[in-house]
Structure 1
Amino acid sequence: MTDIKDKIRIGLIQMRASRTPADNVDAAAKLIREAKDQGAVYVQTPEMTNIMEVKRDVLFEKINEEEKCVSLAAFCSLARELGIHIHVGSMAIKVAPDRAANRGFMIDPSGEVLASYDKIHMFDVDLANGESYRESRTYRPGEQAVLVDLPFGRVGMTICYDLRFPALYRALAESGASFLTIPSAFTRQTGEAHWSTLMRSRAIENGSFVLAAAQAGTHENGRETYGHSMVVDPWGRVIAEGGTEPGVVMADLDAEEITTSRARVPSLQHGRRFEITAPLAEPAHLHVVGAKT
């Protein structure tokens, strides 16, 4: 495992992505440069950095396979120019003629892709305000959790809706992750209800920093995202937070807080495997298909 450096300055890029990949790359690049100018050595962009598009036919006209992705090439070139780690929170990447991956990329200062992660949990929900999302209709879910060692420590890569599945973060932390990344495009409705609570919970449960760049505002496609890009320390304190407009959120991380928090509450060492004992008798009111009556 990579040794944890004591101090690290990071930047989160808050965006309002449009339906045009080139415009989104330009907007992200401008903000990444701002973060670099303020001293960031790691910069994270949100989920769906390259495009926010709900129409499947339009989406597949505008995206490409990873090796042909102009947006990815631009971010690799920018990381090389600036000499920093750029974590592209996620982009829509074509993996079949009618299927995409919601894929995040960790790019090193030489412009090489160190690691990529396909979002595991698909956002298939109907909200109370009438909004409906069926991510699984367009995107192929990932099957692999991903860790990557950076100069300042081990990072666990996740994306947005993964946030609601704490077992993933526990597994990453138990495998050495000290920094949990959750680039997102949370809806305004769910963000207002749950965003901060869930972010702080993942940090507290695992004694880890949580870094979450977010989409924000009303997008060209009509979708409204919550914003509030957030950095949470291992004790659950929000040390930096954005609002609802595009911009840069900066934070200085003290890695000693990871050691201190995990020493105070060493829950990562106390986890135990267990089995669930199910009821032996079937409730009388249940009808078993095929049973004799």
Structure 2
Amino acid sequence: MRIALIQLNTGNIVADAVTAAESLIREAAAGGAVFISTPETTHLMEMNRKAVLEKACTQDEDLGLKRFRALAAELGVWLHIGSLITKVAEDRLANRAFLIGPDGEIKASYDKIHLFDVDLGGGEAYRESALYEGGKAAVVAKTPMGAFGLSICYDLRFAYLYRALAHAGADILLVPAAFTKPTGEAHWHTLLRARAIETGCFVLAAAQTGHHATGRDTFGHSLVIDPWGRVIADAGEDVGVTYAELDLAKCAEARQKIPSLTHDRDINVTTVDAK
């Protein structure tokens, strides 16, 4: 199965971002990819609260989503839009991923469960929960191409989510992201390889990259990792398309060698005061 990851430098003008993503999706399809994945916040990177609420649309009103659905149908590909900023109430948003089939229909969607509330130092802080509603359910989408476990960016730090996705049948984990530069440099490769090793899954992680219009810097390095934890494709820091070939038999092979999914236990923790 030939897949492609789209690495973007999304700005704060939705129409321009959709056009940029569409161009690369077309390139990926022309290059033979039958499954194409884009990063988190594919069509809008906006830090200002008032501006993002003005620019965001409901799912039914989102012209970018309609354009992506039409594009999947035109090209006859499976298209994973890593996430779109979706309005769910007058002053609340969801960070929502979409899996679109080659007929243009939305086959699955997923709202980011773990919200990015952190202080990185040097004045860089994020409070996603101030504006976004966290998702309530994990999602595995079983398709003719394989079973995809959906997640988004900060979810990556919560190993139990990926364990649950693997137990539910996932053999490909999707981790679209807009990782910050400092956290990406420190943890991106390590965490993604760990998720692959722990689950015996392929990991596909399409990423945002570079300096964005709102001043944010993202890490790039969209990755494809095999079930043994080997990096088989790394996009580096440039905007563009990265290809890889997936052989899902590798999942069974890795799980046979290290059958850790069959060894899970309910753990009772005893706390001892050892002063």
Which category describes the TM-score, using the shorter chain as reference length?
Answer: over 0.9
Amino acid at match of 1:141: G
Structure 1: which 4+ aligned runs deviate by more than 4 Å? none
Structure 1 residue 138: Cα displacement: 1.1
In structure 1, what is the equivalent of residue 28 of structure 2?
Answer: 35
Amino acid at match of 1:61: E
Which among 12, 17, 22 is matched to residue 15 of structure 2?
22
- CA distance in 1 between counterparts of 2:236 and 2:123 reads 25
Aligned pair 1:166/2:159, yes or no? Answer: yes
Aligned pair 1:12/2:5, yes or no? Answer: yes
Q: Which has the larger radius of gyration?
A: 1
- CA distance in 1 between counterparts of 2:159 and 2:122 reads 26
- CA distance in 2 between counterparts of 1:33 and 1:55 reads 31
In structure 1, what is the equivalent of residue 53 of structure 2?
Answer: 60
Which among 182, 195, 198 is matched to residue 202 of structure 1?
195
Aligned pair 1:115/2:108, yes or no? Answer: yes
Which among 201, 213, 218 is matched to residue 206 of structure 2?
213
Aligned pair 1:106/2:94, yes or no? Answer: no
Aligned-CA RMSD value: 1.1
Structure 1 residue 152: Cα displacement: 1.7
Amino acid at match of 1:152: M
2:140 counterpart SS class: strand
Identity %: 53
Aligned pair 1:246/2:239, yes or no? Answer: yes
Amino acid at match of 1:156: G
Amino acid at match of 1:163: L
- CA distance in 1 between counterparts of 2:263 and 2:145 reads 26
In structure 2, what is the equivalent of residue 147 of structure 1?
Answer: 140
In structure 2, what is the equivalent of residue 132 of structure 1?
Answer: 125
- CA distance in 2 between counterparts of 1:244 and 1:219 reads 13
Q: Which moved more, 1:266-275 or 1:225-234?
A: 266-275
In structure 2, what is the equivalent of residue 49 of structure 1?
Answer: 42
- Listed as ranges, the gaps of 5+ residues in structure 2 are none
Amino acid at match of 1:237: R
- CA distance in 1 between counterparts of 2:123 and 2:202 reads 34
- CA distance in 1 between counterparts of 2:133 and 2:249 reads 38
Aligned pair 1:235/2:237, yes or no? Answer: no
Aligned pair 1:189/2:194, yes or no? Answer: no
2:229 counterpart SS class: coil
Structure 1 residue 129: Cα displacement: 2.9
Aligned pair 1:89/2:77, yes or no? Answer: no
- CA distance in 1 between counterparts of 2:185 and 2:121 reads 13
- Listed as ranges, the gaps of 5+ residues in structure 1 are 1-7, 285-293
The count of corresponding residues between Structure 1 and Structure 2 is 275
In structure 2, what is the equivalent of residue 5 of structure 1?
Answer: none
- CA distance in 2 between counterparts of 1:274 and 1:224 reads 40
- CA distance in 1 between counterparts of 2:256 and 2:230 reads 17
Which among 260, 264, 267 is matched to residue 274 of structure 1?
267
Structure 1 residue 110: Cα displacement: 0.4
